[in-house]
Copies of this chain bind each other. A is one copy, B any other.
Amino acid sequence: MSLSAQDVINELQHAGLRITTQRRSIIEHILRMPAHFSADELLAELHNGQMEVSRATVYRLLPKLVQLGVVREVIYGEEHRHYEVVGEDQQYHGHLICEQCGRVIDFVCPAVEGAIIGVCREYRFWHHSHTLEITGLCEDCQDQPLNN
């Protein structure tokens, strides 16, 4: 089962935040966005729909959703922020980022999960979230001549 808009709305309410038409719309769109999206891409989607939401509102809600654990920031190499939805049952995963073509490949790796839990125990660190990003060349780009 994946996260529903209502689930997120309930979380907002529990956190003492008000449920507005704009927030409802933003949440519904976020759940339909591709794996990784930026604030700008989200805004573009919102403007394709009937509901208009201002940049400010989107920018104000996203950090709250991060705090609530609904989305998390990923793919930091890029110039602007990217987010992805944290599914209920979704395993933590990492990203393989191709330096040549920009493609982002998601991967899951239980061994990494286990290692991270071990590190946190060792350092008595309370683990909230983590990101693992590997940059390099994807299979296709390894064969191609460099172009920079």
**Closest chain B residue, CB of each to CB of A76:** B76
Cβ–Cβ contact A125 & B105, under 8 A: yes
Chain A interface residue bracket vs B: 35 or more
Complex Cα distance, B134 from A94, in Å, reads 12
Specify which chain B residues have a CB less than 8 angstroms from the CB of A19 in the assembled complex.
Answer: none
**A16 sits at the interface (CB 8 A):** no
**Interface centre among A77, A123, A135, by most B CB within 10 Å?**
A135
Cβ–Cβ contact B111 & A123, under 8 A: no
**Closest chain B residue, CB of each to CB of A140:** B124
**Interface centre among A111, A114, A119, A142, by most B CB within 10 Å?**
A119
Cβ–Cβ contact B134 & A107, under 8 A: no
Complex Cα distance, B134 from A129, in Å, reads 6
**A115 sits at the interface (CB 8 A):** yes
Cβ–Cβ contact B125 & A134, under 8 A: yes
Specify which chain B residues have a CB less than 8 angstroms from the CB of A8 in the assembled complex.
Answer: none
**A61 sits at the interface (CB 8 A):** no
Within 8 A of B (CB), among A67-91: 73, 76-77
Within 8 A of B (CB), among A103-146: 105, 107, 109, 111-112, 114-116, 118-120, 122-139, 142
**A45 sits at the interface (CB 8 A):** no
Extra pairs beyond A128-B135, A131-B132 (5, CB < 8 Å): A96-B125, A111-B114, A119-B134, A123-B139, A126-B137
